[in-house]
């Protein structure tokens, strides 16, 4: 969760009094926040030593979905309302004297649809910044960029001194060689191509370059005089930069996600509208899209929803009336009133600062917070149950115990891996229909959800090469496959895998490990051609690029069925037609040298991996 640093003295001033450490920690806990750190002692110690020190800071941990609390302004505003010191402010749009016709207009061109198609803007008039409020304004943008905006991938914010530029504005997308301007904190003009090279050495901007680097066109914003305002999501221009003396601020927001665009536009404008000459007023702007549609941004319209006292009571164990629920919701920056038609219903007006309110359960949570979690009544559950493991978990434990008894060591690799490890390093091809990809991986090591346990075991061996041979490792855990038939578009499958590493390949070792676990599961070894066998397993030679040619086998399992004459006849006919009912559950063999080379393993390895799902049975009693 994000952490916000607040100037301690400034926060006390906004709250109207100073708090002791215990008092403030209790207040935050009651509101659903947590005090992560108070730097007062560190600052005092530095001052005693004669060292330079900043003012004491309070570092507050914020819920990931409370974007209105990402700055001291939002935190102080919410806490004052929670304490009953203020009423929720009414955010409103302030149109110029000429009405909508006089609004600042930005025209969006068709080429922007190729890279960042959505645009919004707003104006804050007659702003008076102090040094601390100016720093807070910049810090809020950074917090939004890192959290909701996903490091500017989805949304990017630009702020400009409106008095240095001239409306109307144009939001375009041009080839990088055709874009040239003086970027922020530079003293000469660069083309967009040159900036891609210049900013590679600047860590705070280099992370954003891949967002647009490979695009044939870059987004760019111009004013009426063809002066560049910004090149989102990378950098603003030096010409329009804001300072402590800025009085009128133009905010531009570009995005690839329209929902996040609206949230960011509302948060950035409402949080700092308190510094306007008329607090909590924002001058809207007009955005004209390529299809001719016109939108007024930001959209500060309050959303109407409702909560029912009976629902709140059923979830919290309280006996509140609708009037009491309304008063509690008022403490959470919401506007609530009683329904004229239903005595159980509360009509709630959700402000534009609360995009986290989606359903009635969110209102119930806010009511519970306002009431006090520690005050909620304790009750025993109406029913009692005895827990027991899932069938697949019990089966996994059996495999783990047996393999551990055999002298093998269990490994616990990460579930995520790189695309190369999952496919190229295992000599496998990605058909695009197998592995679940991570949309925004933090590092290259966490690109996909693994589809096999082998790469994790091989990495474990690589990191433990100094251990004496043989190295015997195993794992029983889930792999994940894409599956459109599921609502979540993917399914988990429990696998068991083992790898033997020694001076000799040891195919017979992993074969014996398979035989041992099948013996424990009471699955007999059968012949592939034995159509009369009710159940069993067998192996059949296969060609697999992951394994050495001629040294790999497929593991087949025949699920138990009745052995009537008709069933045996059907099985015989299917076997003759090469369409048996037997399930392909896994593979074992000697790993290919190129696979071992990729994982930097210099000794031969044999591996076994198979699916445990076909063997699970429903539990009748808890497994001890």
Query: How many angstroms separate the CA atoms of 22 and 25, rounded?
Result: 5
Supply 210's token pair: 């891949």
C-alpha span between 12 and 464 (Å, rounded): 54
pLDDT at 183: 93
Per-residue pLDDT tens for 460-513? 998 888 888 889 999 999 999 988 888 888 899 999 999 999 988 888 898 988
Q: Please state the rounded mean pLDDT for residues 267-292.
A: 93
CA distance 108 to 290: 6
What's the pLDDT at 623?
Answer: 42
Which residues lie across from 558 on neighbouring strands? 536
pLDDT at 487: 82
**What pLDDT is attached to residue 577?**
43
Per-residue pLDDT, 262: 94
pLDDT-derived band of residue 572, with 50, 70 and 90 as boundaries? low
pLDDT(190) > 90: yes
Instruction: Kindly give, in sequence order, each residue whose CB lies less than 8 Å from that of residue 538, ignoring residues fewer than 6 positions away.
Output: 525, 526, 527, 528, 556, 582
| pLDDT over 70 (residue 563) | no
pLDDT score recorded for residue 618: 42
Confidence of residue 622 (pLDDT cuts 50, 70, 90): very low
Strands 471-482 and 409-410: parallel
pLDDT band at 619 (very low <50, low <70, confident <90, very high): very low
pLDDT tens for each residue of 215-239: 999 999 999 999 999 999 999 999 9
pLDDT, mean over the chain: 89
Query: What is the per-residue pLDDT for 445?
Result: 82
pLDDT at 624: 41
Q: What is the DSSP letter of 86?
A: S
Kindly tell me if the per-residue pLDDT of 567 is higher than 70.
Answer: no
State yes or no: pLDDT of 317 exceeds 60.
Answer: yes
Could you give the domains of the chain?
A: 3-82 (3.30.56.10), 92-297 (3.50.40.10), 303-374 (3.30.56.10), 391-615 (3.30.930.10)
DSSP 197-244: HHGGG-HHHHTTGGGTTT-SSEEEEE-TTS-EEEETTTEEBSTT---T
Q: What is the mean pLDDT of residues 31-35?
A: 90
pLDDT of residue 271: 92
Q: How many residues does the chain have?
A: 624
pLDDT for 174 equals: 95
Interstrand relation of 281-288 and 104-108 (parallel, antiparallel or unpaired): parallel
pLDDT for 451 beyond 60:
yes
pLDDT tens per residue across span 139-175: 999 999 988 898 899 999 999 999 999 989 999 999 9
């Amino acid at each position: 969760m994000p952490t916000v640093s607040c100037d301690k003295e400034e926060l006390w001033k906004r709250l109207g009094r100073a708090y002791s450490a215990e008092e403030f920690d209790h207040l935050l806990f009651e509101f659903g926040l947590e005090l992560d750190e108070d730097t007062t002692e560190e600052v005092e110690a530095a001052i005693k030593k004669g060292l330079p020190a900043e003012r004491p800071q309070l570092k507050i941990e914020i819920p990931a979905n409370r974007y209105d609390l990402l700055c001291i302004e939002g935190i102080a505003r919410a806490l004052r309302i929670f304490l009953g010191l203020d009423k929720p402010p009414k955010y409103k749009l302030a149109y110029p004297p000429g009405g909508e016709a006089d609004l600042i207009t930005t025209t969006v061109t068709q080429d922007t649809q190729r890279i960042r198609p959505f645009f919004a803007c707003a104006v804050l008039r007659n702003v008076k910044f102090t040094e601390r409020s100016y720093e807070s304004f910049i810090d809020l943008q950074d917090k939004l960029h890192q959290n909701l905006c996903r490091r500017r991938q989805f949304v990017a914010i630009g702020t400009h001194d409106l008095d240095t530029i001239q409306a109307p504005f144009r939001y375009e997308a041009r080839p990088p060689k055709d874009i040239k301007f003086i970027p922020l904190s530079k003293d000469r003009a660069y083309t967009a191509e040159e900036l891609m090279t210049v900013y590679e050495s600047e860590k705070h901007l280099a992370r954003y370059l891949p967002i647009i680097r490979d695009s044939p066109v870059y987004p760019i914003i111009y004013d009426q005089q063809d002066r560049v305002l910004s090149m989102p999501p990378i950098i603003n221009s030096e010409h329009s930069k804001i300072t402590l003396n800025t009085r009128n601020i133009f905010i531009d927001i570009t995005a690839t996600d329209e929902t996040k665009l609206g949230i960011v536009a509302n948060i950035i404008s409402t949080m700092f509208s308190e510094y306007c000459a008329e607090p909590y007023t924002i001058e809207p702007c007009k955005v004209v899209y390529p299809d001719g549609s016109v939108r007024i941004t930001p959209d500060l319209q309050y959303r109407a929803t409702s909560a029912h006292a009976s629902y709140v009571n059923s979830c919290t164990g309280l006996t509140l009336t609708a009037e009491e629920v309304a008063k509690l919701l008022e403490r959470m920056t919401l506007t609530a009133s009683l329904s004229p038609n239903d005595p159980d219903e509360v009509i709630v007006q959700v402000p534009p600062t609360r995009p986290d309110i989606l359903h009635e359960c969110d209102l119930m949570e806010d009511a519970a917070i306002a009431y006090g979690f520690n005050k909620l009544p304790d009750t025993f559950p109406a029913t009692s149950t005895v827990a027991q493991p899932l069938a697949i978990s019990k089966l996994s434990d059996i495999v783990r115990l047996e393999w551990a008894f055999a002298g093998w060591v269990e490994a616990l690799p990460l579930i995520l891996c790189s695309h190369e490890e999952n496919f190229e390093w295992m000599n496998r091809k990605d058909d695009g229909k197998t592995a679940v990809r991570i949309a925004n991986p933090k590092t290259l090591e966490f690109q996909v959800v693994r589809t096999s346990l082998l790469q994790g075991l091989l990495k474990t061996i690589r990191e433990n090469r100094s251990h004496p041979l043989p190295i015997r490792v195993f794992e029983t855990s889930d792999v994940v496959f894409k599956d459109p038939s599921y609502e979540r578009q993917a399914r988990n499958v429990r696998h068991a895998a083992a790898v033997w590493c020694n001076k000799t390949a040891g195919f017979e070792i992993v074969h014996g490990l398979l035989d041992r676990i099948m013996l424990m599961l009471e699955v007999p070894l059968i012949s592939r051609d034995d159509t009369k066998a009710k159940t069993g397993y067998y192996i059949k030679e296969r060609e697999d690029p992951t394994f050495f040619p001629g040294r790999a086998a497929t593991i087949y399992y025949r699920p138990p069925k009745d052995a009537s004459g008709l069933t045996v006849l059907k099985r015989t006919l299917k076997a003759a037609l090469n369409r048996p009912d037997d399930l392909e559950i896994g593979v074992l063999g000697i790993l290919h040298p190129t696979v071992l080379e990729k994982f930097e393993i210099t000794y031969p390895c044999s591996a076994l991996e198979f699916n445990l799902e076909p063997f699970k049975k429903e539990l009748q009693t808890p497994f001890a």
